[in-house]
A and B are shown apart, each in its own frame.
Chain A
């Protein structure tokens, strides 16, 4: 029996993206993973550390994955012709870049863990580039999830308590926004928790403000579709 994916990728994902070569999984997908880390951090990075799963560590250099990962992490799009120059640009920006090998377990061959730090914050993701530029991020700041970057998404870090989901979803519902999917995970009952809400249309700054102001929310981050 073949494992089926739960969601069909769109025509534009298959017949695309428009990207800098030479490899959609090693160049475009990795650039998008770097970009996810940058968007979650939401400020200029000072240090970015890339931990490459062994099969990726063996093949990344020839495909320019190092340029792509760094390019994404400083905010470049996959079709930005500056990607081949990304490491030099990052160095000029004063960003400290590190590459290391790390066995990330039973995961897709092209998987990377990214630690990114800015002046005031830091973030961490683990994700795979599964082909054709499509990505799957399955860990954000230590929380299990499933993030593909193909729709607008709200990421919520909060303290676990009853009623949290209904309060957040009410605000989103009042905005007239449809929720496509919702993932929750927590480290321990009543402790740090995480919610990822994929939505069909953008969330307004006002709604994001209301969500951020909610009791027990430590951080709310709104991410647009990752180009």
Chain B
């Protein structure tokens, strides 16, 4: 079992990183490499579906978000965006996936649903813009998953455990390693990309308004997809992280533990308790109570009708 990034660097030196992860996963879990690749081909398909559907927008469950992808797409299609197409598409695809997620659509948790726009945003935009073979993207998903599985050895991948760094930070780190791989980088480049991306998300708190995966999650996915691309760019240029990846993960876990409970997905701090955030939270609570009361009344009505049916 590969237990650390230091060990990964030694084992996977001068080797194809996806191949190494496929081999170790087969050893550890008995899932043949071809089966993993086939599953990830399908998951890439699910990601693409999200991108296609998500571009047209639509209101989220909590009605706070939904049209971000649509607006950016319209601006892009009419030539009104100023960033380069790769960056715009990374943002657009991340927003599309997160829009689908907020409507209870079918998505791929990568590594979580709340951070599920980042990896597809980065990888699908790069694949399209640089005309990369989709099969290479599938192998890059192996790399992303492999990096995440080593992080998950020491960290629980959830905002409740350690804040947003544990979700969006980890997703961005996984995506950065995968992008370095897609652009022809070696194992060292991928680990450095992961390190630079993760290091610069440390301390990111999880303070969702009303407790929903909507604000700030949807837009944050777009921004951190771009963050991951820039980390991969630095790593590929030969820039190394001074702090090794294993120590960054350890720091992330320590920071997560010292975060107050209110900043770990409870919606009891940060943005959730701003004037606007708290007002939205209150409104959502009231609406939920009304829905619950309506459901209870409906149940009561059905029960009464059944009773009547029996007596008559």
Whether B267 lies near A17 (C-beta < 8 A) is: no
Interface residues of A in 119-153 (CB under 8 A from B): 130-134
Are B113 and A23 in contact, CB atoms less than 8 angstroms apart? Answer: yes
- B179 on interface, CB distance cutoff 8 Å: no
- Establish whether residues B211 and A2, one from each chain, have CB atoms under 8 Å apart when the complex forms: no
> Chain B interface residue count: which class?
35 or more
Residues of A within 8 A of B160 (CB): 25, 55, 108-110, 131
The one of B43, B119, B302 in contact with A18, judged by C-beta atoms closer than 8 angstroms, is B43
Contact partners of A4 in chain B: CB under 8 A:
3, 153-154
Partner of B108, one of A10, A15, A61, A108: A15
Q: Measured between C-beta atoms, what is the minimum distance from B300 to chain A in Å?
A: 12
Q: How far is the CA of A9 from the CA of B1 in the complex (A)?
A: 11
Q: Is the CB of B264 within 8 A of A8?
A: no
* Residues of chain A within 8 A of B100, CB atoms compared: 21
B131 at the binding interface (Cβ < 8 Å): no
Contact B153 A22 (CB under 8 A): no
Q: Is A106 part of the binding interface, using a Cβ–Cβ cutoff of 8 Å?
A: no
In chain A, positions 44-59 with a C-beta closer than 8 Å to chain B are: 55, 58-59
Q: Which B residues are in CB contact (< 8 Å) with A83?
A: 104
**A18-B107, A21-B101 are contacts. A10–B113 as well, Cβ < 8 Å?**
no
- How far is B249's CA from A58's CA once the two chains are assembled, in angstroms? 29
| Among B150, B213, B253, residue most surrounded by chain A Cβ atoms (within 10 Å) | B213
Q: B residues within 8 A CB of A91?
A: 299, 302
**Cβ contact within 8 Å between B61 and A15:** no
State which of B43, B174, B266 has its C-beta within 8 Å of the C-beta of A16.
Answer: B43
Given contacts A25-B160, A63-B211, A131-B112, are A15 and B43 in contact (CB under 8 A)? yes
A78's closest neighbor in chain B, by CB?
B109
Interface string of A143-178 (1 = CB under 8 A from B): 000000000000000000000000000000000000
Kindly supply a per-residue 1/0 record for chain B positions 108-143, scoring 1 wherever the CB is within 8 Å of any chain A CB and 0 otherwise: 111111101001000000000000000000000110
Secondary structure dominating the interface of B: helix
Q: Is B29 an interface residue (CB 8 A)?
A: yes
**Cβ-based interface call for A93 (8 A):** no
Is B146 interfacial (CB 8 A cutoff)?
yes
Cβ of B152 under 8 Å from chain A: yes
In contact, B212 and A5 (Cβ under 8 angstroms): no
CB pair A12 B113 closer than 8 Å: no
Whether, in the assembled complex, B177 has its beta carbon less than 8 Å from a beta carbon of chain A, the answer is no
List chain B residues, Cβ under 8 A from A7. Answer: 28
Is B153 within 8 A of A5, CB to CB?
yes
Question: Whole-angstrom distance from the CB of A56 to the nearest CB of chain B?
Answer: 9
Which residue of chain B has its CB nearest to the CB of A80? B106
Report yes or no: B267 in contact with A5, Cβ–Cβ below 8 A: no
Given contacts A14-B111, A25-B112, A79-B106, contact A131 B161 (CB under 8 A): yes
* Selected contact of B148 from candidates A15, A28, A84, A133, CB within 8 Å: A15
Contact B110 A59 (CB under 8 A): no
Contact assessment for B110 and A5 in the assembled complex, using a CB-CB cutoff below 8 Å: no
Within 8 A of B (CB), among A174-220: 200
Interface: B194 (CB within 8 A): no
B158 engages A130 (CB within 8 Å): yes
Question: How many angstroms between the C-alpha atoms of A4 and B253 in the bound complex?
Answer: 11
> Smallest distance from the beta carbon of B307 to chain A beta carbons, Å?
15
Q: Which residue of A lies closest to B267 (CB)?
A: A59
Contact of B111 among A62, A109, A132 (CB under 8 A): A132
Asked if B267 contacts A58 (CB within 8 A), the reply is yes
Known: A10-B149, A63-B212, A130-B156. A24 touches B114 (CB 8 A): yes
Across-interface contacts of A17 in B (CB, < 8 A): 108-109
18 other A-B residue contacts (CB within 8 Å) besides A18-B107, A22-B212, A132-B158: A5-B154, A8-B1, A11-B22, A14-B110, A14-B148, A15-B43, A19-B107, A19-B108, A27-B113, A28-B109, A58-B266, A62-B210, A62-B288, A108-B156, A108-B160, A109-B160, A131-B112, A131-B161
Sample (29) of A-B pairs whose CB atoms are under 8 Å apart: A2-B155, A2-B249, A3-B154, A8-B149, A8-B152, A8-B153, A10-B31, A10-B36, A11-B22, A11-B36, A11-B145, A15-B43, A15-B108, A17-B109, A19-B108, A19-B109, A21-B103, A21-B105, A21-B107, A22-B214, A24-B109, A59-B266, A108-B156, A109-B161, A109-B264, A130-B157, A131-B167, A132-B112, A134-B157
Residues in B lying within 8 Å of A, measured CB to CB: 1-3, 21-22, 25, 28-31, 36, 39-40, 42-43, 46, 60-62, 100-114, 116, 119, 141-142, 144-146, 148-150, 152-161, 166-167, 174, 210-214, 249-250, 253-254, 261, 264-268, 284, 288, 295, 299, 302
Counting from the closest, the 8 A-B pairs by CB-CB distance are A131-B158, A21-B101, A11-B145, A15-B145, A14-B148, A24-B109, A22-B213, A131-B157
